[in-house]
Homo-oligomer: A and B are copies of this chain.
Amino acid sequence: SAVSIEKETPETERPHTFLRESDDDGAPSSSSSSSSSSSVRSRFEKMIREAQDSVCEAIEGVDGGGAKFKEDVWSRPGGGGGISRVLQDGAVWEKAGVNVSVVYGVMPPEAYRAATASAQQKPGPVPFFAAGISSVLHPKNPFAPTLHFNYRYFETDAPKDVPGAPRQWWFGGGTDLTPAYIFEEDVKHFHSHRGERRGLGGIFFDDLNDYDQGMLLSFATECANSVVPAYIPIIEKRKDIPFTDQHKAWQQVRRGRYVEFNLVYDRGTTFGLKTGGRIESILVSLPLTARWEYDHKPEEGSEEWKLLDACINPKEWI
């Protein structure tokens, strides 16, 4: 069950930064082992806020006029906060959420992978910093794929009872495509932006800290900036294809599967719920509508079957 750390407070406008003053002065408050980590916090925050702007602008542009993103800004008493943006019931997207958050909290010591295995006693709770951009875009047309992306940066401070311990950090994230129907050219286009893949997939990385920190920040930035050119052309091509009730019903069944993955397994969702994040922001990833049919099995060889087959048997798309 969720452990609520702090209640979020609605804010009327976006602050210049969600960082605490002591975290943006180039001199970490509780450790001096990594002199540039504060500025990575601030550079990462800047990057995700810019990415949020550019993705939302691209979505509104394609959606075409009527629907706009609704913005909610919130902060937390101890520092940190976030900006949630949701476009609901648009012409092209059923639900599109793009959130950034900058959160401070405390995590159990098991999660702190002590670089120095020397200390015999177990450390106490570990203060952490987590910033990220997270988005799920669910289009209306069953031939237009859902996109998820998420880029995040974590830092721990030293455990409170081990003041000399090193600050740890890592990057994580990914972008992946979830179609209800396969268009090979779309999947190829999407993957041509990146080398790695997962399922129908995209790119995914986590616990990345074994390269220069600035280089990894550039890598995460490039990934975030690839979202619009990787996704928008696919939507432009698919958003107006005519479809039947059967196509729509299959999309709804796949939406149900998406909800299962999200609520049962998704690390970001689970982390958000467990650290007492803002629930409406976390669950904006869920589709507007979904459907569960008992033991639904598409006919072998059908387009629906091909999608399932590709989810079960990973393919090389390029």
Name A's B-contacting residues (CB within 8 A).
1, 70, 72, 86, 88, 95, 97, 252, 256, 259-260, 263-265, 273, 280, 283-284, 286-295
Contacts and interface: CB of A to CB of B under 8 A. Distances in A.
B294 A291 contact: no
Prevailing SS type, chain A contact patch: mixed
Contacts of A280: 294-295
A88 B286 contact: no
Q: Copy number of this protein in the oligomer?
A: 2
B265 A1 contact: yes
A294 B290 contact: no
Nearest to A285: B292
Contact of A291 (B260, B273, B288): B288
Nearest to A252: B289
B295 A286 contact: no
Contacts of A70: 294
Contacts of A293: 88, 288
A259 B263 contact: yes
Contact of A259 (B72, B259, B265, B284): B259
B88 A294 contact: yes
Contacts of A284: 294
Nearest first, the 9 A-B pairs at minimum CB distance are A263-B263, A286-B292, A86-B294, A280-B295, A289-B291, A263-B264, A290-B290, A284-B294, A88-B294
Nearest to A138: B292
19 contacts: A70-B294, A72-B295, A86-B294, A86-B295, A88-B293, A256-B290, A259-B259, A259-B290, A260-B283, A263-B264, A264-B264, A280-B295, A284-B294, A288-B291, A288-B293, A289-B289, A289-B290, A289-B292, A290-B292
Given A1-B265, A263-B264, A287 B294 contact: no
Best-buried of A260, A287, A288, A290 by chain B (most CB within 10 Å): A290
Contacts of A259: 259, 263, 290
